[in-house]
Chains A and B, each alone.
Chain A
């Protein structure tokens, strides 16, 4: 008979590892950049959850805010910015 407790203790981290890696790969394989920005949060959140599993609750909190919220927002904002037509002015500069 399998101990349910040990099964859960093992299965949850392994699932999180798979999520982190697959999230990273899938995010980088997207054609649509906005989807990529959203999918970045999957990997970030999985890494935050792994921190929690590895006995680091306060680091997990920081990573959850930074990796799952701030970074996708920043990437999404810059993707939206790069969808606007570019400004074609000649930039002055010294050689």
Chain B
């Protein structure tokens, strides 16, 4: 019983990270903070997938030469989620890099990092009213 707290705690942590990310995306004004919030959502989902592959009293899924096959099959954690998370982490990092680059370009053009000033529809509205 004692160790299942680990898995439950990981799931709760994942959910909290996702909620923190969503709150940051909705309530914070700074574009960089919004981007970091988006990265936290990705972290939370990754953590959830990892927690799904966890096995109580298990061992890592790496098969070494001197291991017994049967006990390995009985104890090893499920490796498929971990393989997926590796891909997911890299995708998240590259997306984050592109978003940061866009934020820097927008700052250089407009001189502000505030989302309400940058990402509004004022420009379009003015054009429509010409």
Residues from chain B with Cβ under 8 Å of A42 in the complex: none
Residues A82 and B89 in contact in the complex (CB < 8 Å), given A36-B33, A53-B6, A74-B96: no
Known interface pairs A86-B109, A87-B108; A74-B89 also in contact (CB < 8 Å) = no
B 70-107 to A, binary, CB cutoff 8 A, 1 in contact else 0: 00000001000010011001101100110011011001
A24-B42 Cα distance, complex, nearest whole Å: 13
Give 1 or 0 for each of A14-47: 1 = CB within 8 Å of chain B CB: 1001001100110110000100100010011001
Grouping DSSP codes into helix (H, G, I), strand (E, B) and loop, the B interface class, with mixed when no group exceeds half, is helix
When the two chains form their complex, are residues B113 and A50 in contact, meaning their CB atoms are under 8 A apart? no
Task: Give the number of residue pairs across the A-B interface with Cβ within 8 Å.
Answer: 137
Contacts A21-B20, A25-B20, A59-B50; A88 near B36 (Cβ below 8 A): no
Closest CB pairs A-B (n = 5):
A86-B111, A55-B77, A78-B100, A17-B13, A82-B107
Q: A10-B3, A14-B5, A86-B108 are in contact. List 17 more A-B contacts (CB 8 A).
A: A10-B6, A21-B17, A24-B17, A24-B20, A27-B36, A44-B43, A50-B10, A50-B13, A54-B54, A55-B61, A55-B77, A62-B89, A63-B46, A77-B100, A81-B107, A85-B111, A87-B108
Chain A residues within CB distance 8 Å of chain B: 6, 9-10, 13-14, 17, 20-21, 24-25, 27-28, 33, 36, 40, 43-44, 47, 50-51, 53-59, 62-63, 66-67, 70-71, 74-75, 77-79, 81-82, 85-88, 91, 95
